[in-house]
Amino acid sequence: MRLRYKILCASLGVVGVVGVIAAISIDYKQIPIVYANGSSSVLPLIQALSEKHHKQDIISNAGGSSLGIIEAVEQRTNIGVSSRSPNIDFEQQSVEKSHVVYDKWKQNQLKTYTIAWDGIGIIYKLNKTNHELVLTKDNIIKLFKAFTGNEQVSYYDLDPQLPKTPILAYSRTGGANASGTAEAFLTSNPLISKKEFKKKYHDIYKVIEAGTYGKLIRSTEESNTQAWTNISKDNVDGSITYLSTGFILKNYDQIIAKGYKIAYLQNKDLKNYLPFEINENKQEIVNVAKTYGWYRPFNLVFSLNMQGIKNTKEFVWWLLTNKKVEKIIQESGFIPLTFEQKNSMFLKPYKDEQSFQEAINNQSAKNNFFVSDFELIESNRINILGAKSA
């Protein structure tokens, strides 16, 4: 019996309370609990997956990617859930801009597991035109400038074929330092590299990173649900925000019905792409990693020497190897990892998928996977936490 049902049973009535409590106590001991705290973007996926996993109860709480990462480092939660990669600087020996966190990452043997990919989509409302907004390498900085709230930018500034309607940007409170969605919006777009952005447009970058916006934007909380609630409630002509493509897909009909559109992205081939293909019957997220290119990882961060790690490992191994998981990820609007991406998180990568499938039931395969980030980095000479994106 799952924990949520146990709680329900305990509240059904007074008759037989002692018997119910006794049954609950016995059942409670039989099912271990794994706590997962962090990104509000990732938690719905964790909840959907936990519905199909019966060896542990997964109790999840939102609080943002940064909180999830730090709680995992401090061993205050079994799993830190993050919609971005942990910020690591090997030259400065810092994680999340902290030398202390860097040391604890080593000491507590943190492991980063990428469970899925999620795209970043731009939705906007523009009443006076049928022309589509296309984001290009020539106008992307103007869009970011609008999200600082320090200077008025119009849609005409992005594209002369669009009206001179002022852009009203809805930005995440706390900026990229607090929100994984905001960080992916800032750093993961394929039109300008993070390095070039920080060097050439430092002032714009710092505002969105720190969330020190001007008066020309409206702030929303970290979650996609809250961002959509705020922008749709105001329903202002010219409003614009960024959302998870998984969220857009699940709420597509509602978003379109409110008069919002999804921006195109012009890639290196100079063709314009949406985050997903739109068919008459359904939407499929097939473009995010292949041609659209604006995406981020969904990561689980956990300490390998934390008390209760056995239950965490069982849950993570189920996520990595169970065939049902990939289908749930797709149905939730996200992108499963390829074999090559999964393979990049092993200490000794497998020759091919067949050799991996032959090994997954052996303890040696688990030992090969459950190694700390730093051991993986030192052995394979890579500078990334979690899966390789390509």
pLDDT at 283: 58
Tokens of 129: 């035109």
Lowest mean pLDDT of 10-19, 38-47, 202-211, 305-314, name the range: 10-19
Determine how many CB atoms are found less than 10 A away from the CB of residue 316: 22
Q: What is the pLDDT of residues 262-291, one digit of tens each?
A: 999 998 888 998 888 766 555 556 656 667
Judged against a pLDDT cut of 50, whether residue 11 lies above it is answered with no
- Residue linked to tokens 């942990």: 86
**Hey, what domains does the chain have and what are their CATH numbers?**
3-118+304-380 (3.40.190.10), 119-295 (3.40.190.10)
Looking from the CA of 43 toward its CB, the CA atoms found within 13 Å total 21
Quote the crossing angle between the two packed helices 323-331 and 309-321, to the nearest 10°: 80
Tokens of 206: 């710092």
- Residue linked to tokens 């329900």: 8
Q: What is the mean pLDDT of the chain?
A: 87
Judged against a pLDDT cut of 90, whether residue 104 lies above it is answered with yes
Helices (H), 2-134: 3-10, 17-30, 43-50, 65-73, 99-107
Question: What is the 8-class DSSP label of residue 154?
Answer: B
387 and 342 in contact (C-beta within 8 Å)?
A: yes
Tell me how long the chain is.
390
